[in-house]
Amino acid sequence: MNPVKFSPLFLLTLCAVTTFASAADASPPADARVAQHYAIGKISTPPGVDPQLGGLALLPDGRLAAAFHHGQVAFYDFKTLSWKIFAEGLHEPLGLLLGQDGSLLVMQRPELTRLRDTDGDGVADRYEALWDDFGMTGNYHEFAFGPVRGPNGKLYVSLNLASAGDTIREEIRGEWSPIGLSREKFYDIADWKKNSTAAGRMYGRVKWRGCIMEIDETTGAAELFATGFRSPDGMGFDAAGNFFINDNQGDWRGTSPVHVVQRGGFYGHPASLVWRPDWEGTEPLKLPIEKLNALRTVAAINLPHSVYASSPTEMILIPQTAAWGPFGGQMIVGEMNSGRVLRLLPEQVDGVWQGACVSFVDSQALRGGIHRLLFVGDTLYLGRTHLIWAGGEGIGTVKLTKTPFEALTMHATPHGFRFTFTAPLAAGAAEPARWPVRRYYYKYHEPYGSPQTELTQITPSKVTVSADGLSADVAFADLKPGFIYDFNLSGLTSKQGESPLNPAIAYSLNKVPTK
């Protein structure tokens, strides 16, 4: 900080700043206020079936398909409000997708499976292995997510790393990578605490762990698509076909990232590098950080840990219908640890992906564990789960009843950010003190998580509000790429006197636009 002499007038301004900042508590909105804008409800789950959800899909006949923790897939008829079991006995199914041939695709721990009802009795009688050419050590953390279908018609699945919270089973499936701690050490359980450190907090010693795989829906032929993931629960595409994948805070994940993924890319967690065909045998954990930094693509959007999200989940697009008002077309993501769904506002700036996250619906009425998202008609369905972690159960529903006052979009500009709002800003919005920002970044390193680093409280140098009050340009004297600009907009009000329902919005600035 530069030493500055304060004039009395400046001190007065500073007091005003303080007033705004202390009023500017960006805590989640009161549930009662959320209820004025969103109708939150639920539907039943099948009787006798564990109500933890791994997948949701919409069938061509309008029924809802849901996959459950104990391995059932069941169909919900919106007309009769009743469930019918379609398939049973799957191993931790964590994704459902309608097949192009009318079958139902389900990703279970050991396999991407195609379920078929060949005799037309409404119950699956064929459980076909579409793709299972990936490794399993039996470690509990080797979850398998997907599939999603890309604009090229290919399927994509993501495979979790194993956790040092446990070792590997005696019998494993698939090839073992010799790169890293020797396999015998994985069986030296008495010393597992020490050995697990050498194994890596999360490890991927069998094939395609920590990778994104591309699979041909007809032949089951698979190809490595991208590396560098840890526990990538959420995959989705934007309207232009860009591929978004998120991951969970942990080792090498200072906070939960959202990546825009390209073929051949590496996205930060080093364990899966051993599965790159060009990998020459160096143990990824021993690579200098500069080397990893040179290899990796940084997150497009960082979800600040525990404030915005702790465990992000499925990402889908809000339908562009009148029911969803101005939010139509935007991307949303679920969150396990609180009753929250967030909006993501990605953009590409001079070839680099970046953008903001902001809560969409944040209410204890949503409960936690929001794992799978699906729009059916005007309703957003939320499938919850928890396993041994924070979360919830059952299927929730959300409808927009009255558009709240919110920051609608946020774009980087050469000097700061341009916001648009769902309703015109009231007078006074041009006061920079109403736009306090916490600026920080999360470290890229092996330890679990990261503190908010180089945290500085800043205010814009200038705010210009458009004549219609619907947008504002917020400029900073010193715009720093590599930082998260975490705005607290609770000092703003609309012309109707509303404050933003979700005032916290955080932009991950990777690149300052040149124009």
Partner 1 sequence: MRFFYLLVLAVTLTSSGLLAQTAPTPKAKAAPAKKPRIVKMFMRDGLRFEPPRLVAEPGEQIVVEIENNDSTDQTHNFVLLRPGTRDAVVQAGLALAEKGPALEYVPPSADVLVHSRLLAAEGSGSIAFTVPTTPGIYPYVCTFPGHGMIMYGALYAGVTPPPIEKDPNILPMVAQGAVAGGGQRPFAQRIFMPDAGPAAVAIALVGSQNVCWDAGQCRLRYAWQGSFIDASENWAGNGKILPIVPTKPWWRAPKDDFPLRFGAVDSAAPKVKFLGYAATTTGPVFHYRAGETEVYEHVLPAAGRPGIALRLQIPRATGLVFYRAAADPNAQWTSSAGTWRDGVLILTPAQAADVTLTLTSALCTP
Q: Is 136 in the site for partner 1 (CB under 8 A)?
A: yes
Per-residue H/E/C for 255-291:
CEEEEECCCCCECCCHHHHHHCCCCCCCCHHHCCHHH
Q: Is 103 in the site for partner 1 (CB under 8 A)?
A: no
Q: Among candidates 405, 410, 418, 496, which has minimal Cα distance to 29?
A: 405
* Residues in the chain, overall count: 515
- Contacting partner 1 within 26-45 (CB under 8 A): 42, 44-45
Q: Which is nearer to partner 1, 89 or 120 (CB)?
A: 89
Minimum CB distance to partner 1, residue 125 (Å):
5
Rule CB under 8 A: choose which of 13, 21, 33, 88 binds partner 1: 88
How are strands ordered across the β-sheet holding 256-260? 235-237, 243-246, 256-260, 301-303
Q: Among candidates 249, 274, 254, 267, which has minimal Cα distance to 199?
A: 274
Minimum CB distance to partner 1, residue 50 (Å):
7
Q: Which is nearer to partner 1, 101 or 125 (CB)?
A: 125
- Contacting partner 1 within 142-181 (CB under 8 A): 142, 165-166, 169, 171-173
Q: Please identify, among the stretches 57-65, 97-105, 372-380, 391-399, the one whose residues bind partner 1 according to the rule CB under 8 A.
A: 391-399
Q: Among candidates 336, 333, 328, 353, which has minimal Cα distance to 344?
A: 333
Rule CB under 8 A: choose which of 103, 231, 337, 409 binds partner 1: 337
> What is the rounded distance in angstroms from the CA atom of residue 455 to the CA atom of residue 72?
47
The torsion angle over the Cα atoms of residues 292, 199, 263 and 150, rounded to 10 degrees, is -140
Minimum CB distance to partner 1, residue 139 (Å):
8
Q: Which is nearer to partner 1, 158 or 471 (CB)?
A: 158
Could you tell me whether strands 352-362 and 340-349 are parallel, antiparallel, or unpaired per DSSP bridges? antiparallel
Q: Please identify, among the stretches 48-56, 466-474, 482-490, 502-510, the one whose residues bind partner 1 according to the rule CB under 8 A.
A: 48-56
Minimum CB distance to partner 1, residue 388 (Å):
5
Q: Which is nearer to partner 1, 173 or 185 (CB)?
A: 173
- Contacting partner 1 within 312-331 (CB under 8 A): none
Q: Is 306 in the site for partner 1 (CB under 8 A)?
A: yes
Q: Which is nearer to partner 1, 103 or 493 (CB)?
A: 103
**Structure tokens belonging to residue 140:** 């509990």
Number of residues that bind partner 1 (CB under 8 A): 55
Q: Which is nearer to partner 1, 127 or 444 (CB)?
A: 127
Rounded to a whole number of angstroms, the CA Rg of the chain reads 24
Rule CB under 8 A: choose which of 15, 23, 129, 189 binds partner 1: 129
Q: Which helix (H) or strand (E) holds 292?
A: helix 289-295
Rule CB under 8 A: choose which of 140, 176, 192, 279 binds partner 1: 140
* Cross-strand pairs, 397: 41, 381
Q: Among candidates 194, 170, 195, which has minimal Cα distance to 182?
A: 195
Cβ proximity of 336 and 311 under 8 Å: yes
- Contacting partner 1 within 410-469 (CB under 8 A): none
> What is the rounded distance in angstroms from the CA atom of residue 436 to the CA atom of residue 457?
7
Rule CB under 8 A: choose which of 13, 21, 33, 50 binds partner 1: 50
**Structure tokens belonging to residue 322:** 């009148």
Q: Is 91 in the site for partner 1 (CB under 8 A)?
A: yes
> What is the rounded distance in angstroms from the CA atom of residue 234 to the CA atom of residue 218?
24
Q: Is 272 in the site for partner 1 (CB under 8 A)?
A: no
Residues of this chain that bind partner 1 (CB under 8 A): 42, 44-45, 47-48, 50-51, 69-71, 88-92, 108-111, 113-114, 124-129, 132, 136-138, 140-142, 165-166, 169, 171-173, 306, 337-339, 364, 367-368, 386-390, 392-394
